[in-house]
Structure formats: C-alpha cells, structure tokens
Structure 1
C-alpha cells in the first residue's frame, strides 16, 4: 500500500510539470486532427457532438462543450490563481511591469481585428468575423512555451500568462457584446453574489474562520459553491471559463496562523495534476479536430486570409509594437531578465488561437458552412505557422540562456540581471 501511494505521488508530481502537460496537450491535438480527418472521422464527430446533462439548467451540452466550458474552467482557475500569486508576491507587484503585458494584450487584440477588417472591407458577408483572430489560446501557448523554452526566464511565462488572460477576457467581452443575442443579468448577478461569498470565505475571519476551523472538509463547501458559480455564469450567456479565472483571482495567497500553507498553494498543488493529466488532453482531443474540406480555397478566401494574417502578423505587430511604444511613452518597463527578441518570440506564440477563435468562427458564420470551414482551417493553419515561427525564435533564445547559465555556474555566479538578457 505504501509503495502504491509513492507511485501515485510520483505520477502526480510528474503531471505537475508544464513540459509533461505540453506534450499531453499536443498529443491530444494531433490525435484529434488525425481522427477527424481519417475514415473514422464520423465516429469522432458523433462522440464530440453527443449531448448530455440536465436540460432544465440549460446544461444539455455536447461533449465538446463540456470539455471547453466546464473542464477548461479548472485550468483557468489554476491560471487565475497563479496570476494572483504573481500580483501579490511576484513579478506583477511592480505596476511598471504589470502594465506592459496588459497593454500588449489590448494591442494584440486590436491590430489583428483591424487587419482582418481591412482585408474584408469589400466583402460584407465576411466582415462579421473580425473577432476571430483576436484571441490567444492560453492552454496551447503555455504548453508550447513549456516544451520549447525550458531555460527561458520565468518572467516570460508570467508575461504570456498575463497577456493571455487579458486577451481571453477581452475576447469573452467581445463575444458577449457583439456575438451574443442576449446576456441574462439575473444569473450573472447571482454568480457575482456567490463570488463575493467565495472571496469572504477565503479571508478566514469571523464566520469564515469558524468554518475553516471546523471538522467539515473544505471540499464539501467549496466544490458545490464553485459548481453553482459556474452554472450561473454559464446560464448568463458569458463564456463559463470566466468563472474559473474569477475564483482563482480570489484565492488567498497568505497562510494564516495554524495553516501549513496558503489555500492558493494548496488548491494549485491538488488540482494541477488533474488539469495537466486530464483537463488539457481531453480539451485538445475534443476541440482540435478541424476537418480540412476545400483546402484549395483557404488561401483565396478573404475570411481565411484575414484570420491567418491577423493571428500571425497582427499578434506580432500588436504585442511587440504596443509593448515597445509603451516603454517609450510611459514609465512602464520590461523585466531586465528579458530582451525584445524574447517578447517577439512570445508574440509569435500568441498567434495560436484555438478555442475562443473557433468559437467566434461558429458565431460569425452560422449560415455559411463553407466560409465557416475555411475560417476554421485558417485558425488551424495560423496556429501551426505561429508555433513554428515561435519555436525557431524561442528555441534559440532558450539555448542562449542555457549557455549563460552554464557560464555563470562555471564562474561561481555573479553578474547583473541585464547580462542575462544580452544577445
């Protein structure tokens, strides 16, 4: 029994590694593409569209929707939780550095949308897809960064996380305002009220302290509360993964007297293996199965071209250009462990636009299946191009930082932070 527990602990520790999560996510996406475009593609579509759940709560959802809306909320909880730790204790405590990825995210949404709109100005039926190239897929981007950037400075991952979260929040707002017929404010207000309860319980004072000190297991309170918040957010018409981000940002990052560790760290330690080992691979398997139909028309369809250029060129121009201009016009600053070529590589990586981009594609062209398929293929091609370009840049930078680390170790340490970003 003891050896079995040690074995399970070893597997859990392995699944906490971003690199392992990256490989599992990429494997899931590759399997989805092969399956969807194989002779057995019909079985893939049948499984992905199979619906189940309580219809009375508007939760009679397809397997794909459960994966992207419910399972992925767990991953977004961890990301929001990690960002909270960075804002309280880490890199983002410094407002001059925190503002940079936020501005970069806004510019990285605006420029791709403008590129798409410019290409499709003479085609009104395609113009509605302007929101497709706005969104960065945080799950894929972080996974690829983990695989190719083992020696890159941690500040680059924090920059990408912050940018991608702001990017996703912006895309969700765009969906709610421009691509949703109706937002139900009753469920939304209910979710906000329960989030206030969630935040109060995290404070650990008064009633919350007595609850935390009771013999009642924490999960018997937090799991039903989190599920209720998710159901209400989903019922409001807002993309339900926002519930995960909100709860993650409300987690307490400081341990109180008598606690072994802060709730934030405890929750992350518990949930990360599940997120990496189950949530992300299943999400990739159910979301990445884009069927290539009419491949020859992709590069002549302005909708597909707008998506490709928006994600590949627009993200690079918006993020890199917006960041650089911000440092010149304001007191915002780039972390001294990073150089602008690192930001350029990361901006290329932000061109990966799976989940939300595919969702906006379906909302943009509900009556035109051919244009929808071309735009979806454009998302896939752009994501592949962005991954290849980012890999070429960031792999070289990772090797550069590895050599610098080895040189520093050989010399017994020393050197300032700026020296790490040279070259």
Structure 2
C-alpha cells in the first residue's frame, strides 16, 4: 500500500512544478543557474560583451549598453506591474482594510530594517560597503510565491495572502529606497516629469478609456524620469498609479492591463533581467569568497535578518494584542513563511547594480560579491523555508491517503 501512495505523491509534486506560481520560481532558479554556468564557461567572453559592450557613445544617449537597456528600460515593465499590483491591493485588496494591512505592514517594515542592521553589523559599517546595505532588504514575490506553489495546498490560504502582502509592501519600500538613496535628481527634468505625471492623473480623473494614450504618456514619463537623475524604473510605478481602476462605462483598465502584462513580466522581462545580471565569473574566487564581508553581509541579511525581523514582529504584535494571528496556521508555519521572505533575487540584484555602479574593476568586484551573497542567501532561504513548511504542514489529500495523518 505504501508504494502507490509514494507514486501518487511523486506525480502530484511533479505536476506542482508546472502550476503558475511554482513555474515562475523554477524558471528564475533555472535562469540563475544558466547565467552562472555561461559566465564561467568558454563563452563567458561573448556573454559579458553582449550585455556590457558599448553600442554608442554615452554622449549620444545614456543607455549605451544592452545591460542598461534591460535594467533601465525593459525593467520598467516589471515595476509597472508592481505598481498595478500595489494600486489594486490598496483599493480593493488586503491593503484596503486597515485591520488586514496592519500586520503585513509592520512585518515588512521590520523585514527591511533588521536585514540592514545585520548587514551593517557584519561589515562593521565599513564605508566601501555601506551603499549596499539595502540589498538584503528586498523580497522577490515571484520566487517566494513559486516555492509556496511547490507546496500545493499545504500552506494555509491566510499565510499565502500574508506572504503576498508582505512582499508587496516590501516592494513599495524597495521602490522608495531606490528613489531616495540611489538617485541624483536634476530639477528641470524633475519638473517636466511632474508635468507629465499630472497630465496622466488628469487622464485618470476623467476616466480616459484609450490604453494607447496611457502607453504614449508612460513612454514620455519614462524618458523624462530617465533624464531627471531619478532611476527610470520609478516611472513604471508612477505610471501604474494613474491607470484607472474603472472607466465611465465600467471597464477596468487596470485589471485588463495587469492581466495582459503579468505573463510578459514573469516569463520574459524578469528572466532576461536575471540572465543578464546573475552571471558572476568565479575565476580566482574560491569558497572562501563567501566569507568576505560583502557577500557574507548580504547572505546573512537575507537568511537571518529577514526571518528574524518578520517573525519576531509577528510574534510580538500578536502577543501584545496589536493584531490577530493569521487564521488556520501555526507559529512554525509563520516561521517558514518568514524564512521565504529572505529570497531576494530580482529586487536585490537590481539594488546591487545601483549600489555599486561603475565600470572600474573595484566596482565590478563589489557587484559580483553582492551577487554571490544574493544568490547564496536566496537559495538557502528557499530551501530552508520549503523544508520547514514541508515538515510542519500537511496536504489534505495526503491525510486522506494516510489515516494516521491529521487533517489540516
């Protein structure tokens, strides 16, 4: 009787790999692995030349490498989708209800602050590393939800929603960090950007139904923000906030646009970004490189800082009566989800690129060390979080197969 049960379990787990959430996470892992293999293979030269070779002089146009076009151009779509998700959550989702948003907001705030503290503690506040302190503060929604997807119905719905909401609030914080700390604003272009944004708000106010007009305005806003010194991807978030939730005839432009763009962002934009940014040449580096201050600080921030900040905040908030425990879950399950929040990847890689900009060897080395910390910390968080949740939760169908297993 045991063998059929094992077979059914194996088939179920295999099918889980191809569910939407799970597949996104698996795809990101595969892209990171391929990028690392390519960056340390015989075609490493062409790989780095493809993304970093100059297309034209920077005096002609700032985006003069494919890498810059991906990070400052293509990733606007990713941030636009993030903005749409945030707006929907604020208007009609978990962030719309003050009672439901209190816990994830508190958890996300601590989940950003504590990793920064861990980073500074590990690096001793050394000035050469300080720019990277926000790297472990980010959570990758697709990757984390992908791991949850692998667990099927093991994870209670309340915890899925908690993780999603924490990750969304985390994204808001990450966008704010990028706008405030990794920007060098130019007043004239900022004013022009503000003018375009006001026009888009007016389009929203009067329920303009033509998506094409918003596309044109978004491109104009992106160009102005790109020249303003504020990172261009912020334009994606700002533009998303102007998309009407509902037009005069009841048409939900936000839902329609989000439904259209989410697959493109998840299965094209983010994988391309991951492939272009996750490749690190390990030439001359050994395992001891993981113990260098920067990768160790980033990894510790993700693995230790994230779970420590989120779990202790949830525990303290519940014990003090500030909020209620997410229903139908245990403290072990809350801990498992807190660990998964240590999966940084996309946003962490993005902040890492901004933190250590430059074409010199020193800047490149810092970026590579940050990537090593991000990839290692994210992998450990994914495996550890999955293991904890796997051991502390039960599939209803598995409980049916095993009469000794409790039904959850």
Shorter-normalised TM range:
0.7 to 0.9
Alignment partner, residue 117 of structure 2: 114
Contact 1:116–1:310 (8 Å) recurs in 2? yes
Contact 2:21–2:142 (8 Å) recurs in 1? no
Alignment partner, residue 309 of structure 2: 318
Q: SS in structure 2 opposite 1:289?
A: coil
Deviation at 1:304, TM superposition (A): 2.1
Pairwise mapping of residues 242-253 of structure 1 onto structure 2 (< 5 A)? 242-253=234-245
Distance 1:376 1:41 in 2: 17
**TM-score normalised over the length of structure 1:** 0.78
Q: SS in structure 1 opposite 2:230?
A: coil
> Aligned to 1:190, which of 183, 192, 195?
192
Distance 2:274 2:35 in 1: 7
Deviation at 1:303, TM superposition (A): 2.3
Distance 1:16 1:185 in 2: 47
Deviations 1:254-312 (A, max 9, x none): 4643x4x4112211222223223322221222122122241233243222222211110
Deviation at 1:381, TM superposition (A): 1.0
Distance 1:329 1:57 in 2: 59
The answer to whether 1:388 aligns with 2:400 is: no
Alignment partner, residue 225 of structure 2: 233
Contact 1:97–1:333 (8 Å) recurs in 2? no
Contact 1:110–1:134 (8 Å) recurs in 2? yes
Contact 1:77–1:248 (8 Å) recurs in 2? yes
Distance 1:155 1:72 in 2: 30
**TM-score normalised over the length of structure 2:** 0.80
Contact 1:27–1:281 (8 Å) recurs in 2? no
Alignment partner, residue 273 of structure 1: 263
Deviation at 1:371, TM superposition (A): 4.7
Deviation at 1:376, TM superposition (A): 2.5
Contact 1:256–1:262 (8 Å) recurs in 2? no
Distance 1:251 1:120 in 2: 42
Deviations 1:110-134 (A, max 9, x none): 1111112122227554445333322
Unaligned ranges ≥5, structure 2: 1-17
Contact 1:136–1:168 (8 Å) recurs in 2? yes
Deviation at 1:49, TM superposition (A): 1.3
Contact 2:53–2:66 (8 Å) recurs in 1? yes
Distance 2:224 2:248 in 1: 31
Bigger shift: 128-137 or 379-388?
A: 128-137
C-alpha change, 1:148 and 1:265, in structure 2 (3 Å) is same
Unaligned ranges ≥5, structure 1: 1-14, 213-217, 408-419
Pairwise mapping of residues 161-176 of structure 1 onto structure 2 (< 5 A)? 161-176=164-179
C-alpha change, 1:148 and 1:52, in structure 2 (3 Å) is farther
> Aligned to 1:33, which of 26, 36, 54?
36
Deviation at 1:225, TM superposition (A): 0.8
Deviation at 1:370, TM superposition (A): 4.3
> Aligned to 1:346, which of 311, 322, 337?
337
Aligned pair count reads 382
Q: SS in structure 2 opposite 1:298?
A: helix
Alignment partner, residue 11 of structure 1: none
Pairwise mapping of residues 110-259 of structure 1 onto structure 2 (< 5 A)? 110-121=113-124, 123-149=126-152, 152-180=155-183, 182-205=184-207, 208=208, 212=209, 218-254=210-246, 256-257=248-249, 259=250
Distance 2:158 2:216 in 1: 35
Deviation at 1:390, TM superposition (A): 1.6
Distance 1:27 1:147 in 2: 15
CA RMSD of aligned residues (A): 3.3
Deviation at 1:387, TM superposition (A): 1.2
Q: SS in structure 1 opposite 2:134?
A: helix
Contact 1:290–1:380 (8 Å) recurs in 2? no
Alignment partner, residue 107 of structure 2: 104
Q: SS in structure 1 opposite 2:197?
A: helix
Distance 2:84 2:155 in 1: 22
C-alpha change, 1:167 and 1:51, in structure 2 (3 Å) is farther
